[in-house]
């Protein structure tokens, strides 16, 4: 700014007033300043300015798989609230590799973020306790383990129980469970909801039809094909997230059969597939918005007594697509055109 002032023959303060669109600056001075800005290629250093004012104005977000639409929507929710409060967001992706998370969090802290929103990749969270000595941390989608901090969760248990109950009400007593790793909170809670619905209906799930540890559509497809090829296979499927549902749908297509499928997460084109789908839907953007609000509230208490830890749960609802009837037998799909 001093360089611009020297070239325009004005003070650095006048340069600042011009860049802030101060109406008290004459048009001739304004033109000289902008000419100097163009000639020097000046850009204001927002990081240095923010540090001078007492903070960087940046928050960090760490997710486990940005390719998953859930995390994209969550990030949009965080960004929406951050922008409303004049903050910017730095985004990191662990790619579901637990060992990457501590390094990414340390990197964000080194870049002077004022707070962190984290979707933990695993159940061990000691590195988050270390991060909390430097900045406030809010967890999203998964709860804290041995930490005293805020979190925003989904109704995982309730949603899984309700969707499974829909299949049981149609007469299905052999429902396959295709789930993500059981060490993850979401995987454990959704399996618990699946079992609870069976217990309430007086039905004993077949352990041979329960498959966990699936991490993407490809592993889900292979697991579903193995279960579908059993002579005593299922009459319906339950999947714990959108990628597993998509893998299971591909397996059904390859096997040439159609079965009712229930699962977490609505996904694009689910309403036009013509399949009997029962999907647990919720507002992923709202998870991000709520997490950002909790973090900003903690930032506002930096110089005083911090609020007690809070847990917010985003509600779910069940959406049904395609034809639904009573006990749907395993039947051939129409030939592809």
207 pLDDT above the threshold of 70 = yes
Mean pLDDT (the chain) is 89
Looking at residues 153-163, what average pLDDT do you find? Answer: 97
How far apart CA 196 and CA 190 sit, in angstroms, is: 10
How far apart CA 190 and CA 158 sit, in angstroms, is: 8
Tens-place pLDDT, residues 290-315: 999 999 999 988 777 778 899 999 99
Looking at residues 71-81, what average pLDDT do you find? Answer: 96
Higher pLDDT, 335 or 281: 281
At 115, is the secondary structure helix, strand, or coil? coil
How far apart CA 200 and CA 114 sit, in angstroms, is: 47
Q: CB burial class (10 A; 0-12, 13-18, 19+) of residue 146?
A: exposed
Give whichever of 56-60, 90-94, 297-301 has the largest mean pLDDT. 90-94
All domains of the chain in start order, with CATH = 2-44 (1.10.260.40), 56-154+283-306 (3.40.50.2300), 156-281+319-332 (3.40.50.2300)
21 pLDDT above the threshold of 70 = yes
Question: Which pLDDT value is given to residue 44?
Answer: 65
Neighbouring C-beta atoms of residue 276, cutoff 10 Å: 20
Give me the residues paired with residue 264 across strands. Answer: 280
Give me the residues paired with residue 261 across strands. Answer: 237, 277
At 175, is the secondary structure helix, strand, or coil? strand
> Dihedral sign, CA of 98, 103, 104, 109?
positive
Tens-place pLDDT, residues 31-53: 998 898 888 888 766 555 554 44
333 pLDDT above the threshold of 50 = no
The helix (run of H) or strand (run of E) holding residue 152 is strand 150-154
Neighbouring C-beta atoms of residue 331, cutoff 10 Å: 9
Rounded to the nearest 5 degrees, what angle is found at the Cα of 256, between the Cα atoms of 191 and 194? 10
Q: Judge whether 316 and 240 are in contact, CB under 8 Å.
A: no
Write down the pTM of the prediction: 0.79
Looking at residues 115-137, what average pLDDT do you find? Answer: 91
Q: CB burial class (10 A; 0-12, 13-18, 19+) of residue 60?
A: buried
Provide the pLDDT confidence category of residue 67 given band limits of 50, 70 and 90: confident
The helix (run of H) or strand (run of E) holding residue 91 is strand 88-93
């Amino acid at each position: 700014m001093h360089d611009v002032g020297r070239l325009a023959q004005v003070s650095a303060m006048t340069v600042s007033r011009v860049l802030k669109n101060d109406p008290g600056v004459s048009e001739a001075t304004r033109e000289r300043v902008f000419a100097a800005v163009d000639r020097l290629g000046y850009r204001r250093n927002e990081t240095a300015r923010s540090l001078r004012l007492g903070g960087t104005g940046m928050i960090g977000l760490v997710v486990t798989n940005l390719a998953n639409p859930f995390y994209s929507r969550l990030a949009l929710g965080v960004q929406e609230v951050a922008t409303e409060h004049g903050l910017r967001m730095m985004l990191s992706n662990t790619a579901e590799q637990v060992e990457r998370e501590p390094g990414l969090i340390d990197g964000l802290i080194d870049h002077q973020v004022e707070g962190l929103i984290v979707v933990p990749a695993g159940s061990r969270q000691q590195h988050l306790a270390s991060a909390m000595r430097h900045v406030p941390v809010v967890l999203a989608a998964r709860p804290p383990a041995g930490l005293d901090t805020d979190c925003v969760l989904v109704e995982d248990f309730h949603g899984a129980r309700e969707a499974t109950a829909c299949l049981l009400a149609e007469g299905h007593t052999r429902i396959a469970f295709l789930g993500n790793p059981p060490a993850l909170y979401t995987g454990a809670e959704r399996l618990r909801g699946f079992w609870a619905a069976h217990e309430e209906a007086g039905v004993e799930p077949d352990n041979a039809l329960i498959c966990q540890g699936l991490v993407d559509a490809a592993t889900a497809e292979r697991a579903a094909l193995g279960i579908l090829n059993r002579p005593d296979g299922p009459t319906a499927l339950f999947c714990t997230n959108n990628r597993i549902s998509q893998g299971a749908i591909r397996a059904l297509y390859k096997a040439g059969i159609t079965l009712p499928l229930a699962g977490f997460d609505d996904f694009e084109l689910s309403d036009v597939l013509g399949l009997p789908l029962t999907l647990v839907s919720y507002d992923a953007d709202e998870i991000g918005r709520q997490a950002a609000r909790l973090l900003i509230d903690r930032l506002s208490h930096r110089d005083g007594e911090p609020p007690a830890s809070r847990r917010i749960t985003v509600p779910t609802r069940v959406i049904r697509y395609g034809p639904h009837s009573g006990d749907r037998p395993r039947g051939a799909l129409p030939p592809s055109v």
